[in-house]
């Protein structure tokens, strides 16, 4: 009951005694990724911010309650200019959340948004653009992927990037692993140190850099993968990734695959290919 009540508070502001920056940390933009919510419940009752203020936001409370990715629309694709969204998207529950969360993002200079994967054994990684590499250096994983703004626009980090601010997403690994919550907790504390809300120093970790090179969107209502791909599995040019209706979908270049999923909708995000990138 206690945990449930806390969850429904939705936005928790913690202020320090000293002046400092404003940051936002979001958990549960996708309701089936519980690690951020669990990390909040572990950290927030004891947390003392020294400088500035931090807004801790439960991104999609209804979806969290229902343990679903979303209720009407993927919340993490709706942080675009409202004029580019459909009427259906704008009457969704998620768009109400967008309008609320945007107000806090506008006040902040930095964002940490916490996610997890539905694929067992997924490894953690960071999503951000090069201008946030310095901020991301504190997060507890060695892998950074850029280029999402181009292929999957409308995330919270996309919105921050558009405002010229820092937005970083931490993918904490498989949602069913306890380690995902631990990574979320370490990520939150290290982010608070790096942004100056906590005065303690944080050790940074060397990173490997990748960039999204293509996104495959389905053309039919039936997309099936030729196998269960692990995130970061090596793909060779010419390899058959899946069957879309009756068409074989072939990788057009060497790379690594990410977020490969079977799909039952036209225009759905079916998989991403990524390539190694230099800093």
Residues at the site binding Zn ion, with contacts judged by CB under 5 A? 30, 33, 115
Our CB check for Zn ion shows the closer of 16 and 173 to be 173
DSSP string, 165-185: SEEEEEEEEETTSHHHHHHHH
Our CB check for Zn ion shows the closer of 80 and 222 to be 80
- Nearest residue to the partner Zn ion, using Cβ: 115
Our CB check for Zn ion shows the closer of 227 and 262 to be 262
Our CB check for Zn ion shows the closer of 108 and 127 to be 127
The CB-of-1 to Zn ion minimum distance in angstroms stands at 27
Our CB check for Zn ion shows the closer of 49 and 112 to be 112
* Crossing angle of the two packed helices 35-43 and 178-194, in degrees rounded to 10: 60
The CB-of-67 to Zn ion minimum distance in angstroms stands at 13
The CB-of-220 to Zn ion minimum distance in angstroms stands at 25
The total of other beta-carbon atoms located within 10 Å of residue 240's CB is 12
The CB-of-131 to Zn ion minimum distance in angstroms stands at 22
Our CB check for Zn ion shows the closer of 115 and 197 to be 115
The CB-of-155 to Zn ion minimum distance in angstroms stands at 9
The CB-of-116 to Zn ion minimum distance in angstroms stands at 7
């Amino acid at each position: 009951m206690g945990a449930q009540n806390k969850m429904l508070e939705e936005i928790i502001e913690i202020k320090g005694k000293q002046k400092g920056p404003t940051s936002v940390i979001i958990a549960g933009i996708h309701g089936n990724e519980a690690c951020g919510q669990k990390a909040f419940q572990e950290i927030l009752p004891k947390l003392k911010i020294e400088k500035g203020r931090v807004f801790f936001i439960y991104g999609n409370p209804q979806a969290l309650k229902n343990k679903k990715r979303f209720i009407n629309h993927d919340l993490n694709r709706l942080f675009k200019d409202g004029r580019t969204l459909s009427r259906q998207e704008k009457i969704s529950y998620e768009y109400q959340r967008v309008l609320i969360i945007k107000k806090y993002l506008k006040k902040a200079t930095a964002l940490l948004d916490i996610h997890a994967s539905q694929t067992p054994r997924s490894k953690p990684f960071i999503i951000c653009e090069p201008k946030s590499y310095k901020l991301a250096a504190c997060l507890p994983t060695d892998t950074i992927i850029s280029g999402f703004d181009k292929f999957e626009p409308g995330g919270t980090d996309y919105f921050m990037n558009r405002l010229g601010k820092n937005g970083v997403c931490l993918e904490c690994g498989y949602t069913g692993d306890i380690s995902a919550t631990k990574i979320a907790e370490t990520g939150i504390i290290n982010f608070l140190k790096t942004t100056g809300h906590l005065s303690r120093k944080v050790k940074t970790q060397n990173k490997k850099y990748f960039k999204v090179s293509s996104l495959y969107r389905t053309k039919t209502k039936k997309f099936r993968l030729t196998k269960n791909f692990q995130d970061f599995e090596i793909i060779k040019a010419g390899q058959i990734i899946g069957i879309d209706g009756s068409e074989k979908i072939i990788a057009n270049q060497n790379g690594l695959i990410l977020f490969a999923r079977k799909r039952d909708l036209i225009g759905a995000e079916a998989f991403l290919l990524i390539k190694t990138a230099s800093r």
